[in-house]
Structure 1
């Protein structure tokens, strides 16, 4: 197991240690471990570690088939959890939509303002008008008591059945590009169609995330599968690195969503 770290980035070591501990607890106690909501990269790490060693299995649930953030249920391989075992609550935000609009960042900011960890919330779902979010059941009472305002807008919450979850529609498009290197600033420049200088300023200003984590190093080396986002420019996934051209530039395929 000591070599497991070589398959991941150095900055992921702390989370890997956490996953190994979850697996050990489940193995030794023959009991399930339910995690907070994990981003897709964290889910990938859990699946890689738990799914390849021993008799333990990992299952994931986040409300809809397209959910990004999901809770993991780590348990003995002979057991298959139901949706109820993931202990999630789906809320709809009721607000005067004829007079004000509520955005994803506003909802997230207000939820974080309650003093809870990001891991206690799943995806924030919206169809442009209706807004929903998933929360861990263990904090639902606290949320119902304290979440009554988004910005200056008074809101109320109503609990919804999981079948009523909004399924977000995202239109992904592929883009073939040639970049001078696999540095974050080079790839973002191609994706956002902005100068390297402007992109570097955005990275250093904390406006860029790689695999859902803020990344402030323009020289960060990207790999296939990395999810990139830049505030105001949308999101992109590095789908493939196809090799170098005769001029020593990299041919890449990006999947983009605005």
Structure 2
């Protein structure tokens, strides 16, 4: 391992990724030195990609991202012979309400308790119930502090296993027609706002493209791109039809709140 090159590469990353990579590097060095194991905080897809670049320098360390079928994952690692997942420190919380529960309202209520986003993994909802993966360190606090989501009272309990029993929510699809595949045009269409307001959202850093903040309103989008618009939800460009007679672009978009 060329440690200087690795440290230089980490220093070139975004502030969020730098902190993540340094934490992972410290855990890897401890595992290499002491044969110990660790479980990171939850990583976004962008942070996971950065972590994989660091892991490439430590082929002798056993690692595994968990869960495999979720967007936000933790990294388990060990310098010993055991399975890395033996170091998992997660719980699956079950949330029950009297009315419909949404991902956005649950996450907002969790953040309002002061819990940081990297302590919480994926959230899945189904009518009046929801499930949420969290770090062990915040379970007790959340069970005490999270008593209300929106205007309804909720009840929390700890599931017996870490496996989600609620399927991942499928988004609603819609067809949009835009003058060009530019980011500001697509954002304006999916959020039903004027283009200048969409440009403001982009400049303010309120939009992520493929899990990374994007501030270039002129960025060209293509099928497969995922836009996360703070306050509106997530939009995935599923397909594109040929241009209309007027030369406009037609996209089929999936929307998850």
TM-score, length of structure 2 as denominator length: 0.72
Matched position secondary structure for 1:38: coil
Residue 95 (structure 1) aligns with: 97
Cα distance in structure 1, aligned partners of 2:10 and 2:168: 32
Residues 256 and 60 of structure 1: CA distance in aligned 2, closer, same or farther (over 3 Å): farther
The answer as to whether partners of 2:28 and 2:58 remain within 8 angstroms in 1 is no
Residues 154 and 76 of structure 1: CA distance in aligned 2, closer, same or farther (over 3 Å): same
Matched, 1:76 2:74: no
- Please give the per-residue CA displacement for 1:33-76, whole angstroms capped at 9, x wherever unaligned: 211111122122222321443411321213xx531111111222
Match 1:15 to one of 16, 20, 40: 20
Matched position secondary structure for 1:143: helix
Residue 37 (structure 2) aligns with: 32
Residues 219 and 58 of structure 1: CA distance in aligned 2, closer, same or farther (over 3 Å): farther
Residues 91 and 233 of structure 1: CA distance in aligned 2, closer, same or farther (over 3 Å): closer
Matched position secondary structure for 2:114: coil
Residue 154 of structure 1 deviates from its aligned partner by 1.3
Residue 147 (structure 1) aligns with: 146
Residues 179 and 78 of structure 1: CA distance in aligned 2, closer, same or farther (over 3 Å): farther
Matched, 1:257 2:254: yes
TM-score, length of structure 1 as denominator length: 0.71
Residues 186 and 129 of structure 1: CA distance in aligned 2, closer, same or farther (over 3 Å): same
Is there any run of 5+ residues in structure 1 with no aligned partner, and where?
Answer: 240-253
Match 1:46 to one of 43, 51, 56: 51
The answer as to whether partners of 2:101 and 2:125 remain within 8 angstroms in 1 is no
Cα distance in structure 2, aligned partners of 1:151 and 1:190: 28
Residue 167 (structure 2) aligns with: 167
Residues 77 and 145 of structure 1: CA distance in aligned 2, closer, same or farther (over 3 Å): same
Cα distance in structure 2, aligned partners of 1:7 and 1:208: 24
- Please give the per-residue CA displacement for 1:143-198, whole angstroms capped at 9, x wherever unaligned: 1122111123211112223345312143699x9xx9989x7547757987987534
Task: Give the CA RMSD over aligned residues.
Answer: 4.1
Cα distance in structure 2, aligned partners of 1:222 and 1:46: 27
Cα distance in structure 1, aligned partners of 2:33 and 2:219: 38
The answer as to whether partners of 2:63 and 2:76 remain within 8 angstroms in 1 is yes
Residues 33 and 209 of structure 1: CA distance in aligned 2, closer, same or farther (over 3 Å): same
Is there any run of 5+ residues in structure 2 with no aligned partner, and where?
Answer: 240-250
Cα distance in structure 2, aligned partners of 1:75 and 1:205: 40
Cα distance in structure 1, aligned partners of 2:36 and 2:117: 25
